[in-house]
Chain A
Amino acid sequence: MKFGILVNEGPYTHQASDTAYHFSAAALRAGHEIVRVFFYHDGVNNGTRLSVPPQDDRNVSERWSELAKQHDVELILCVAASQRRGLLDADEAKRAGKDTDNMAEGFQISGLGQLIDAGIQADRFVVFGD
């Protein structure tokens, strides 16, 4: 089965991203396909490479990056939501005159059309949020 995933909350404050991760990993283990994971609202904060959680805690961003690397899963951050919250890839950072980007490995910035497209492509679309 093809799943589309939407993550609407940032890391640590809410469990949404953790649950979405565990759901996605379990679906892939069971032989299903993840069409795309789309991050919206504060969910875009999952895509930063600059978070430094304590060593005895999970690293939410890195965990997503590893999943993307292992299973070739598309991780997409909404561009408008990202710009509001300071999530920038190298191109966006340059264009906005900022001194760094903060995109974690495996994440890409794209438009809301990718969210609708995931809904169209997927057999089941699952929303993780507040």
Chain B
Amino acid sequence: MASKKFLYINRKPPHGTIYAQESLEVVLIGAAFEQDVSLAFVDDGVYQLLRDQDTSAIGSKNFAPTFGALGDYDVSKIYVERESLELRGLTKDDLMPLTYEDEDDDWAEKDSIRVVGSEELAEILEQQDVLLNF
């Protein structure tokens, strides 16, 4: 069966609710199905990718390092909405670096994160077969 284009939309902050953590579990399991996978981070979801997260004071699991493994799972298309960053006073430099090794380019290490405007993101959504909204 031909693979489908799956896009996971992450809209919620990493802590406060369990959505972000459990959604990342879906992405990791889904990676085994050899579909075309992308992730989008919008609204408070952009906080999930903040660098140097430390949850010791709230006693919840810091799952942020797991994002660093996405490249090894062949998940290399990570879109972050520009307007969501700007509204929160963030830039790409505030986000953790996420990379993948490009097998079509002699395994060169490349940036997985692309900051896109809402109009471009809308076009990306339009191209998908399955949108999983968390």
Chain A interface (Cβ within 8 Å of chain B)? Answer: 6, 8, 40-41, 80-81, 111-113, 115-117, 119-120, 122, 125, 127, 129-130
Contacts and interface: CB of A to CB of B under 8 A. Distances in A.
Q: Say which size band chain B's interface belongs to.
A: 10 to 19
B4 A129 contact: no
12 contacts: A8-B134, A40-B22, A80-B22, A112-B26, A113-B32, A115-B30, A116-B6, A119-B6, A119-B129, A119-B132, A125-B131, A125-B132
Given A41-B18, A113-B33, A119 B26 contact: no
A6 B134 CA distance: 11
A113 B25 CA distance: 11
Nearest to A114: B29
B35 A116 contact: yes
B131 A112 contact: no
Interface of B: 1, 4, 6, 18-19, 22, 25-26, 29-30, 32-33, 35, 129-134
Contacts of B133: 127, 129
Contacts, number: 50
A80 B18 CA distance: 13
Nearest to A111: B29
A13 to B, nearest CB: 13
A81 B18 CA distance: 10
B127 to A, nearest CB: 15
A120 B25 contact: no
Given A112-B29, A116-B29, A81 B131 contact: no
A120 B36 CA distance: 11
A41 B22 contact: yes
A120 B18 contact: no
Contact of B131 (A41, A117, A127): A127
A112 B19 contact: no
A119 B29 contact: no
A113 B18 contact: no
A116 B35 CA distance: 9
